[in-house]
Amino acid sequence: MNRFWLDRTVLVTGATGLLGGWMVRHLLSQGADITCVVRDWEPHAEFVRSRMWQQMNVVRGDIRDQDLMERVLGERETEVVIHLAAQAIVPVANRNPVSTFESNVRGTWTLLEACRRSPRVRSIVVASSDKAYGSSATLPYDESTPLRGLHPYDVSKCCADLIAQSYAATYRSRIAITRCGNFFGGGDLQWNRLVPGTIRSILRGERPVLRSNGQQVRDYLYVEDGVAAYLEIAERLASDDTLIGEAFNVSYEAPLSALAMVEQILNAMGSRATPEIRGDATHEIPAQWLTAAKLRSRLGFVPRVGFVRGLADTVAWYERFLAPSEPRLTSVRPPPAWSFGVEAAS
């Protein structure tokens, strides 16, 4: 138990996502007083299936609503904000750029403006991405690498990142920024993503499918190590002014091609399946990976779980979830007030 989080008032956006679900689980285990702003009721999400929402304050709304965000921050006397809400699927962003910009860019400035008007907020962690760096001939990216995203998702994260930097520099808002690679872990039900899609195909006796040509190199990070990094940054930021406006890469510093990642999953599952390489993905950056030297040197952060154990835990989660003898989804109805757009407390 880390006593910093005991009874600490925390706002988490994006709680129904992969990272958000694990973030809320860890904060609950530390005794935090959590509020989540949730736009859509998603029964598939681990946040809902495991009934975590019953142990916190849940506000039905949109982070683009500044009046709502100011009310939530003020009435809950929020001290820490962890901003994870985003449209995070690259092909969706390519097809629907405006909705992606609305969620990722407008949502960020609205929340940060509400935080600026809320004097009790002492720590804000904003989730950027390695995609904000765009394509670079110099690898690995460090935090001084220019942000040069070109395609809709990448640009949306560039904008959110720069907006966060602007609020920190101009208003001394207590903001730090995280830039991570591709998260993996149990609870990700976006089956078009490489890790959950590959595991499900193997469990079904099917060939895993790669949308790309398999050669794109990425950073893969187990979600619980990502959560630990976010919480460490948030805790230190609350009392350390030198962290205001700083960005931190989070990485194992062990990049893999998409095909190599599939092979890691196949080995972990004892499968001899051969992947189907379709090569029809568009606007893919050829290679991206990060150095986490700054996070180590400034905060002394070391991942707790690691890639091998994280992948084993991920496979075990999906084996349980997709077991024929167990229901894949629980029937969880939203709280009665949900459809009326008002708050439902635990």
Q: Which residue is catalytic, options 133, 153, 222, 252?
A: 153
- Record the tokens describing residue 341, joined without a space: 């757009």
Terminal CA-CA length for the chain: 22
Give the separation between CA 24 and CA 91, rounded to whole angstroms: 27
Q: What are phi and psi of 264, to 5 degrees?
A: -60, -40
The total of other beta-carbon atoms located within 10 Å of residue 236's CB is 18
Are the C-beta atoms of 312 and 268 separated by less than 8 Å?
yes
Number of C-alpha atoms within 13 angstroms, CB side, residue 189?
A: 16
- Record the tokens describing residue 125, joined without a space: 């962690």
Nearest to 246 by CA among 294, 292, 288, 293: 294
Nearest to 198 by CA among 88, 275, 306: 275
Q: To the nearest 10°, report the CA torsion of 11, 176, 30, 291.
A: 140
Spell out the SS3 assignment of 130-192.
HHHHCCCCCCCECCCCCCCCCCHHHHHHHHHHHHHHHHHHHHCCCEEEEEECEEECCCCCCCC
CA distances from 253 to 180, 217, 296, 299, 307 (A): 11, 12, 12, 17, 11
Give the separation between CA 212 and CA 336, rounded to whole angstroms: 43
Examine the residue annotation and report whether 220 is marked as an active-site residue of this protein.
no
What single-letter amino acid sits at 55?
Q
- Residue 345, phi-psi category: left (phi > 0), alpha (psi -120 to 50), beta (remainder): beta
Residues annotated as catalytic (active site), given as ranges: 153
